[in-house]
Amino acid sequence: MIEKIDEVRVNDFILSLSSENDYDIMSLKEYAIMHDVPIIRDEIRDFIKLIINIKKPNSILEIGTAIAYSTLIMHKNCKDATIITIEDFERRISEAKKNIEKFFDKSKITLVEKDAGIYLKENKEEKVFDLVFLDAAKGQYVNWISDIKRLMKKDAILLSDNIFKDGEILESKFLIKKRDRTIHKRMREFLKTIVDDNEFNTYLFNIGDGISVSIKK
């Protein structure tokens, strides 16, 4: 009889074989760890690389820049792509600007200093982006999805990170602290929305803190 696989050990083994070797990305990760800045997990880093190398997008929208760590990963793995990345937290904006100045081809990157919801509403264009990476306020995902979809080209990919919110989404709302129940409700609504949306083919993956892949038909 085969014993149940220890998923933690398997994950650690995989990561031991796929460590990051780009100096700029490694140094930015070290900065984030030292300054307690939340960044994408290593599993998500590798997943993004996979999607980018398959899709080879020309235009990328990132919602949630922070210090531009995930932005840098996308830039390094798709240097010809133009990237628009959105951040509204003043402290993170200043850090992102420094990192963009240091690590990026600035002709390929635009940092939008604005609330993502406002940017999405104000941008009246359609079918602009080949890839969207959503990693911002989890409670807003469901509010943004219609505008995000409008901005996606046919066959464009939406990657939505942290969909399990440290496992809280799996729990009954009655086991969640009252202050977190709104986010819990909205994240569940978001997942149901993208899974049920006939304009998307959506797949959910148990990687990192959970990530969804929605391909626009």
Point out which residues pair with 61 in neighbouring strands: 84, 132
pTM over the 0.85 mark: yes
Residue 191 has pLDDT above 70, yes or no: yes
DSSP 199: T
Q: Crossing angle of helices 69-77/42-55, nearest 10°?
A: 30
Least confidently predicted of 54-58, 91-95, 117-121, 174-178: 174-178
Task: Return the pLDDT at 178.
Answer: 67
Residue 132 has pLDDT above 60, yes or no: yes
Query: Is 162 within 8 Å of 184 (Cβ atoms)?
Result: no
User: Mean pLDDT, the chain, as a whole number?
Assistant: 91
Tokens of 56: 């080879």
Least confidently predicted of 12-21, 42-51, 81-90: 12-21
Tokens of 75: 């830039």
- Model confidence at 1, pLDDT cuts 50, 70, 90, reads very low
- Model confidence at 165, pLDDT cuts 50, 70, 90, reads confident
Residue 173 dihedral angles phi and psi, to the nearest 5° = -60, -25
- In DSSP notation, 66-119 reads TTTHHHHHHHHH-TTSEEEEEE--HHHHHHHHHHHHHHS-GGGEEEEES-HHHH
Residue 114 dihedral angles phi and psi, to the nearest 5° = -160, 155
Task: Return the pLDDT at 175.
Answer: 57
CA torsion 199-171-169-217 (nearest 10°) is -10
Task: Return the pLDDT at 152.
Answer: 98
Domains of the chain: 7-216 (3.40.50.150)
pLDDT tens digit sequence for 28-38: 999 999 999 99
Task: Return the pLDDT at 164.
Answer: 86
Residue 180 has pLDDT above 70, yes or no: no
- In DSSP notation, 7-74 reads HHHHHHHHHHHS----HHHHHHHHHHHHTT-----HHHHHHHHHHHHHH--SEEEEE--TTTHHHHHH
